[in-house]
Structure 1
């Protein structure tokens, strides 16, 4: 990320136990957020950290995310060896996994060592460091893996994130049934499709049009369907208020009777 020919820095946000860097991956032109985590040992402070990270992601419109670093937490019992897993560790595992699921994060496949932290005598070891990414990150780098390096100056292993640059052919183009139920969707598709330039052979034209339409469709989906979901939520909240008012009216009538 320090190389200007690989990553263009835009902004950053610092919090207790993390630094979030926003920028653009030069080669793909993807705007992404990379969050480096260095967690505390306190469970209470870990819970605060996970809450702050969730709030940070929720408040952002950027879909491409990567959380990496020392989370100081395990996801399952097999990620700790040489020390007992106490009751507070069980609670910690549940809360940590809930943070991952709630934010729809995916842990990259690990290559190399099973553990990333080792005690000085080598008898105790844990998987405390990891890389968690959003689905959109995987769409851009589907072959991404986390490679655990050997221990050098720290008692933690460094982790290298790398995606094999292989062309496995075009990515599948998927649709959502709800799009076709939305008024104006088909007209939008026709207008956008005809607006794209058609240069080259038929296969090249189709590939480029699908690529451009995929990006436009993401914007349309966020602009249109997200508004519908907010409207539905507001209507449901208003209905709940009306139901409560109706129930109060019934109770008042029954008391009068």
Structure 2
């Protein structure tokens, strides 16, 4: 499943979704943008789960689905930037949970808020501390877990690369984590790594194990999630390199180059 924010589109159709996703066995829900601002799109393989209904309010788009005999609510979130808008979003989310059938919860997207002192770099202030405390209180009240990033520390940087933050995140209920494939993933990696028998020098053994583990993970990914190979490894590597430069204080990339990367990543570049 893919959760996209800031689509900046008012119209979606099957032709566009099929081209974006790569095949026609796909379902989706969308929230149109307001002019050139906002817009949400959630896309998934049709056989991934059974959908009950979709819902939307200011700042989020969601679906209620049945997956592995469990009711799950999946939210695609795009939070406002101002504190008043954030507070309304947090209140609306908690209100939705309190007034719907119990289930497991998955909230993903751009929350425009931080949870720890180390998440923003290049920006400090009392307002940030107060907002951070309120956001942490919301996470606790919603009874979800803030899933840490693997490898990368930040998800956003400003145009000159001075301020970098982690604004995007996934918040999952403990039941979702236990029922889902997150714990299964670690068990799979551990078992696969232990079963790989390779002889040679230590550096060679590690290199070959990593190579074969990656191959096994691709198969596991298709079997568990049914996600097609979009051949995005190279683009992810390039985007990660840009982020590394920014995080280490180098000058921000040229905006036109950044746009080219994004277009190529989404398959929108025809060249």
TM-score bucket (shorter structure): 0.5 to 0.7
C-alpha distance after superposition, 1:11-49 (max 9, x if no partner): 111100101211123xx2332110111011110110010
Match of 2:102 in 1: 62
Q: 1:9 aligns with which of 33, 38, 51?
A: 51
Question: 2:108·2:168 contact (CA, 8 Å) conserved in 1?
Answer: yes
Gaps of 5+ in 2: 2-43, 186-235, 241-257, 263-271
1:193-230, CA deviations, whole angstroms, 9 ceiling, x for partnerless residues? Answer: xxxxxxxxxxxxxxxxxxxxxxxxxxxxxxxxxxxxxx
Hey, what's the Cα distance between the residues in 1 that align with 2:261 and 2:119?
Answer: 16
Q: Which runs of 4+ in 1 moved over 3 A?
A: 149-156
Report the TM-score, using the length of structure 2 for normalisation.
0.51
The residue number in structure 1 matching 2:89 is 49
Match of residue 89, structure 1, among 105, 109, 128: 128
Is 1:126–2:168 an aligned residue pair? no
5+ unaligned residues in a row in structure 1: which ranges?
A: 157-257
* Bigger relative contact order, structure 1 or 2 (CA pairs below 8 A, ≥6 apart): 2
Aligned partner (choices 120, 126, 151) of residue 112 of structure 1: 151
Contact 1:106–1:133 (Cα < 8 Å) also in 2: yes
CA RMSD of aligned residues (A): 2.4
| 1:34 alignment partner, SS class | strand
Q: How do residues 149-168 of structure 1 correspond to structure 2 at under 5 angstroms?
A: 150=239, 153=259
How much does 1:86 deviate? 1.5
| Preserved CA contact (<8 Å) 2:156 2:165 | yes
In structure 1, C-alpha distance between the alignment counterparts of 2:85 and 2:110, rounded to whole Å? 14
Q: How many residues align?
A: 150
2:62 is the alignment partner of 1:20: yes
